[in-house]
Amino acid sequence: MTILVVDDDQDCIATLDLALQILQGAVIQSALSAEAALARLADSENGTVAAVITDVHLPEMTGLELVARIRENPRFRSLPILVVSADADPSTPARALGLGANAYFAKPFSPSAMRKKLEELIYA
């Protein structure tokens, strides 16, 4: 099971990688931009992505724009998407969910809560 982590901060990617390794069979792939994430999703040689975790603040295209672009593709309408962010705007969680994200986690987030939500979404 591949989980695609989209963040331009290597420390955040490493933290998520550690937090998610406990999920049985999880393979963590990372992308440093929304554009790179879209390319990985489109690349059939990468295998099937079971879930996407994205930060809101990314270079060029935001994580919220990424959520919208993923949901535009019928192939990915049911792909679990989790958004994580330290964004101070109180409307960001509602915007993320309105665009099609399945969950929003404020940084700092609880790794166990994120794992639980991923398991619910992937194995439901």
- Whether 41 and 70 have beta carbons less than 8 Å apart is answered as yes
| pLDDT tens-place string over residues 51-108 | 999 999 999 999 999 999 999 999 898 999 999 999 889 999 999 999 999 999 998 8
**What domains are there in the chain, each with its CATH number?**
48-124 (3.40.50.2300)
DSSP E strands: which ranges in 38-91?
A: 49-55, 81-85
What pLDDT sits at residue 119?
A: 92
What pLDDT sits at residue 44?
A: 57
| pLDDT tens-place string over residues 107-116 | 888 889 999 9
**Mean local confidence (pLDDT), 4-18:** 93
DSSP E strands: which ranges in the chain?
A: 2-6, 27-31, 49-55, 81-85, 103-106
Say what the pTM is: 0.94
